[in-house]
Amino acid sequence: MNELELYARWAPDDGAWTPWVKPVLFAVPHTLADEEREAWRAAAERARGRWTPPRAGDTALVLDLSGPDALALAVECAAHAYRPVPLFNSCLGRNAVVPNEPLRAGLELGVGALAAARLHRDAAPAFVLDSRRSQGGAKPLMFDNRWRVFAQDFPSANVLLARSIRTVVLVQAGASTPSTDLAHVLLRWQTAGLAIHAIDLAATPPALVPIRVAKPAWYGALFQRLLVTLGLRRNAAGGFGEVVPDATTTGTGFA
């Protein structure tokens, strides 16, 4: 299938959460390599039976795991009546800081299981993130596709409440509190009356617990988005990803 058809599988025209699906990873033609297929199969195997979400209905999920693991778990959650909502706002690129190829493979290879779930248009959302999104450093000539999330990347609390969502479950591995960028989103929801719970899948045993989201730096500031994106590289498509220039080959001298 082509890029538009693939996007339509994850973002159906009548889907309640389609406006929030990020198109960036769908936009560029990509031929799957054998190692990308294998990486996705390994992620899908890890996700099988890893966690059973609460009964769908008034609960939304936020899956903030290492990219392929987050998407694979989202596909597993589709079998429990949750609609995966990919929020990956980062491009593919050679020598990239964040390796997105296994994610792109998962978007292609996971559509069969997604279709088999036969999700209702109003199925509860499972927002899918990549916990690696802002990790690592970019060196000259690397493709810097690190990214962050913002409140505008998610439905507002009013939208969630209007669609009968009352609880949000944050799923992570190796952490019990949200990342700073995600805390800006979750605190807005919590302040508006949504209950926030979290589970650390790396804990023994994993336990779902209510959390009080701590106020992150610059919360509510008009210039918070600008501060957060300093040092990140946006591209013409609107997502994150651009080659870091080599300072030794770019100058401002006169010829």
Displacement of CA 82 from its chain's centroid (Å): 15
Among 1, 12, 32, 4, smallest CA distance to 106 is for 32
In angstroms, how far is the first alpha carbon of the chain from the final one? 50
Contact (CB, 8 A) for 68 and 103:
yes
Q: Is the peptide bond before 140 cis (omega within 30 degrees of 0)?
A: no
What's the Cα-to-Cα distance from 154 to each of 22, 61, 88, 125, 246, rounded to whole Å? 11, 12, 12, 11, 35
Positive or negative, the CA dihedral 11, 4, 40, 90 is: negative
C-alpha to C-alpha distance for 164 and 160, rounded to whole angstroms: 7
Work out the mean pLDDT of the chain and round it to a whole number: 88
C-alpha to C-alpha distance for 161 and 158, rounded to whole angstroms: 5
- Write out pLDDT tens, residues 32-62: 999 999 999 999 999 999 999 999 899 999 9
- The three-class DSSP label of residue 12 is coil
Banded model confidence at residue 238, pLDDT cuts 50, 70, 90: low
Contact (CB, 8 A) for 108 and 6:
yes
Q: What's the predicted TM-score (pTM) here?
A: 0.86
- Write out pLDDT tens, residues 156-179: 999 999 999 999 999 999 999 999
- Helix pair angle (101-109, 67-78), 10° resolution: 20
Phi, psi angles (nearest 5°) of residue 53: -70, 165
Instruction: List strand residue ranges (DSSP E) for the chain, in order.
Output: 59-65, 82-86, 124-130, 143-144, 167-172, 195-200, 209-210, 242-243
Query: Which of 45-54, 182-191, 244-253 has the weakest average pLDDT?
Result: 244-253
C-alpha to C-alpha distance for 83 and 127, rounded to whole angstroms: 8
Phi, psi angles (nearest 5°) of residue 191: -60, -30
Among 69, 64, 62, 34, smallest CA distance to 48 is for 69
pLDDT at 251: 44
For the chain, percent helix, then strand, then coil, each to nearest 5?
30, 15, 50
By percentage, how much of the chain surpasses pLDDT 70? Answer: 84
